[in-house]
């Protein structure tokens, strides 16, 4: 019983910590998907609960897109694939961003490094 309530607490906390995804370019779709999947692994969510977690945290234009297309986005796999197709930057955009990326004033080294790694993954995929 205690283990179950602890798991519920972890799931609740993780859901609260996951910020809304609106589809704007400030938060990358790959980061959002990775965060949802990380919660799923950490809390042992099934595909249906991953889908619910992801859709609950959609807002703004991303929610409107989902609402208009929800009949074809019934599983986590379909939602994830369509989010990536719709919002993932093109290969040429990712390459350009990687080439032009510079550490910003006040940006931590780890944040800059994470941006580089994220762009490298986009180019590789």
The pLDDT of 75-99, averaged and rounded, is: 86
Confidence of residue 103 (pLDDT cuts 50, 70, 90): very high
pLDDT of 54 above 60: yes
Question: Rounded to a whole number, what is the distance in angstroms from the first to the last CA of the chain?
Answer: 43
CB atoms within 10 A of CB 83: 23
Considering the entire predicted model, what is its pTM? 0.70
pLDDT of 26 above 70: no
pLDDT of residue 53: 92
What lies within 8 Å, CB to CB, of 53 at 6+ separation is 15, 18, 36, 39, 40, 45
pLDDT of residue 95: 86
Alpha helices, DSSP H, located in 18-108: 29-43, 47-56, 60-69, 76-87, 91-100
Q: Percent of the chain at pLDDT above 70?
A: 92
pLDDT of residue 1: 44
């Amino acid at each position: 019983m205690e283990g179950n309530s602890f798991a519920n607490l972890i799931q609740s906390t993780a859901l609260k910590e996951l910020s809304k995804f609106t589809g704007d370019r400030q938060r990358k779709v790959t980061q959002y998907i990775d965060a949802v999947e990380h919660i799923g692994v950490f809390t042992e969510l099934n595909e249906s609960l991953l889908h619910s977690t992801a859709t609950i945290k959609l807002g703004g234009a991303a929610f409107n897109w989902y609402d208009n297309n929800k009949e074809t986005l019934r599983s986590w796999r379909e939602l994830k694939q369509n989010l990536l197709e719709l919002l993932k930057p093109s290969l040429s955009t990712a390459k350009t961003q990687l080439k032009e990326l510079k550490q910003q004033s006040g940006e931590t080294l780890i944040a800059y490094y994470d941006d580089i790694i994220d762009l490298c993954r986009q180019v590789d995929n």
